Amino acid sequence: MTLEDRPADYPTVDALALDANAVAGLLQEVFGSEMTLVVGECAHCGNTAEIGTLRAYIGLGVVLRCSVCHEVVIRIATMPDGRHRVDIRGAAFLSL
């Protein structure tokens, strides 16, 4: 299916995104404190903003993307034994 073939009401990637506040509980479980107000910087474009402004995509894991450049900032996967795998390579820093 090409872009031209899609019906007008076909969901776009942004239509499937939530803001990171939707995964606030998971972020608190992983990092041990309230994270949505923590300021971080996107390593790709340099946007500095609160974690709660990232775009959240939920599937087998959670992917948090920059709200400006849409690159991946944080990935979180919950393993079968309950542990979490966290990749924050897309964040230049997090101010905790």
User: How do the domains of the chain map onto residue ranges?
Assistant: 13-95
The region that residue 21 occupies, defined by phi over 0 for left and psi between -120 and 50 for alpha, beta otherwise, is alpha
Return the minimum-mean-pLDDT range out of 8-12, 18-22, 46-50, 73-77: 8-12
Instruction: Indicate if the pLDDT at residue 74 is higher than 70.
Output: yes
SS (H, E, C) 27-55: HHHHHCCCCCCCEEEECCCCCEEEHHHCE
Query: Does the pTM exceed 0.85?
Result: no
Collapse the DSSP code of 84 into the 3-class scheme (helix H, G, I; strand E, B; otherwise coil) and give the result: strand
Buried b / exposed e along 28-40 (16+ C-beta atoms within 10 A): eebbeeebbeeeb
